[in-house]
Amino acid sequence: MAEPRLLSYKGSYICPACRHGQISELPLMDAFACNFCRHIFTADLSSQQIRIEDSSQPMVWRWNGQGWRSAASGALELTIVTWLVSLALVLLPPVLVWLSSYTFPPLPDSSWAWVPRLWLGLTSLFHLLLVLWLLVEFHQIPLYLAFKVRLQAWLRQRQS
């Protein structure tokens, strides 16, 4: 088993945000930076914590000597407001599409009678994907971050 070590600016640690890169000291600054996801972290060495500085979400991790643990209690818990907004974004648009197709149905013998069902299905699918994307973006899931960074690198490579 590896010997626990204290968090210091002289060390290199796995990035708690993307879990792929390594964070190390930024020269001439009391901060860390990841070589993969490019996030910048400030450290509180007395409490063995780092905080991400270049994100809209205030995320903090505590170093336990061997790995990172989230310092926020309930960091992945969703509040009731998040659930209600997500539910509204997923359900209300398809309900409106269904209501319009129910109120003004197509003619039964029309060759376009299938369009309202397709429209309802696509509306449901795209709104569900929108909510899932927003939740993944908000919680900064490591697999999603790694994919996002690799996609950006690939796009930069294609432009060169």
Per-residue pLDDT tens digits for 40-93: 999 999 999 999 998 777 788 999 888 888 776 554 455 788 888 899 999 999
Residue 128 to residues 46, 77, 95, 155, Cα–Cα distance (Å): 43, 19, 13, 27
Q: What confidence category does residue 20 fall into, taking pLDDT thresholds of 50, 70 and 90?
A: confident
Kindly tell me the burial class for residue 87, based on how many C-beta atoms sit within 10 Å of its own C-beta (0-12, 13-18, 19 or more): exposed
Q: Give pLDDT tens digits for 123-136.
A: 999 999 999 998 88
Q: Give me the torsion for CA of 159, 142, 66, 47, rounded to 10°.
A: 100
pTM for the full predicted model: 0.58
DSSP class of residue 26? P
pLDDT confidence tier of residue 1, bands split at 50, 70 and 90: low
Question: Mean pLDDT in the chain?
Answer: 87
Closest CA to 137 of 27, 43, 66, 55: 55
Per-residue confidence (pLDDT) for residue 138, from 0 to 100: 74
Length of the chain: 160
Nearest Cα to Cα of residue 74 among 86, 52, 59, 54:
59
- 5: pLDDT strictly greater than 90: no
At 18, list the tokens: 């993307």
